[in-house]
Amino acid sequence: MQSTDLYHVMRRMRRRAFEFVALRLTGGDPLVPRASLHAVGDTDFRATGDEFLKLFRELVDLHPDEKVLDVGCGTGRLARPLAGYLSEAGSYDGFDVSKLAIRWCQRHYARGYPNFTFRHVNVTNRSYNPNGGNAPEDFVFPYDDATFDFVFLTSVFTHMMPAAIERYMNEIARVLSPGGRCLVTFFLLNAESRQLISENRSTQRFSDTAQSCAVVDPAHPEDAVAFDENWTLAHMAHAGLNPRLPVRYGSWCGRDPINSYQDIVIADRTASSAR
């Protein structure tokens, strides 16, 4: 067996090892998938979703009647809490590279949530969709200009390479309506995080952190990707997304518990970003 095949076999086995907690995790909630379908590592599906809804309300002032886009929605980790928050006047759209995850969401949200839509996009990702037919650096979001009030990406740019992220930033700006905003999570490299990584205090052992982009495993780079903070903020601004400072730093690199695990950047669509 080739090393790449073995790697993916081990990933599947690791996920199946969490099946024994499936009943605890779902707790009878029809919008919580069984453990083997979770695409969010080993974190608690429900608690993480609730955490981010709280952040959406506190940091972005999300209103129940707004139109939101979930980029990389997986099996609905954020859709579940939003289903109890968005009103009939609001709407939710989510897309993901995992066909299995989208099928699960389409099936479980079909009844009772007519304003929730899920879409599969066959975009290549070496960790999550290695046989995808579309390069992420060429991908066009399947939505019209100025469609959404709020776009969010949680643990998405931590699995993408620079050219793809630049493309996605442009697309986020394009689909945001005037006055729209976005929330994106990252592993950001700055003086503090680089120092903590060098002291082996980080949960992510990024190498070559002096560069603008660093990965944990060069053989599987999209498993975990970090970006220089200045590079990230500059490219967001170039795309037409005005970052709100300060950045909300996370605990991933060994900081004391703070806003969340990953770093959070909030940005507003600038008036000149319509494309």
Q: What is the pLDDT of residue 10?
A: 59
The pLDDT of residue 152: 98
Question: Would you state the pLDDT for residue 274?
Answer: 47
Per the domain annotation, does 165 fall within a domain? yes
pLDDT at 256: 86
Residue 135, domain extent: 41-273
Q: How far apart are CA 72 and CA 262, in angstroms?
A: 16
121 in any annotated domain: yes
The mean pLDDT of 167-196, rounded to a whole number, is 97
Q: Which of 44-48, 138-142, 169-173 has the lowest mean pLDDT?
A: 44-48
Cα separation, 10 vs 191, whole angstroms: 35
Question: Burial, 183: exposed, middle or buried (Cβ in 10 Å; 0-12, 13-18, 19+)?
Answer: buried
Whether 20 is covered by a domain: the verdict is no
pLDDT tens digits, one per residue of 65-76: 999 999 999 999
pLDDT for 25 equals 46
> Is 12 part of any domain?
no
pTM, 2 dp = 0.87
When divided into structural domains, the chain yields a total of 1
- Listed in order, strand segments (DSSP E) in 72-212 are 91-96, 116-120, 148-153, 176-186, 188-189
Per-residue b or e along 213-234, where b marks 16 or more CB atoms closer than 10 Å to that residue's CB: bbbbeeebbbbbbbbbbebbbe
First to last CA, the chain: 47
∠208-234-148 over CA atoms, to 5°?
115
Q: What is the pLDDT of residue 127?
A: 80
Question: Is position 185 within any domain?
Answer: yes
CATH number at residue 205: 3.40.50.150
Mean pLDDT score, 44-52:
91
| Confidence tier at 11 by pLDDT (50, 70, 90) | low
- Residue 21 within any structural domain of the chain: no
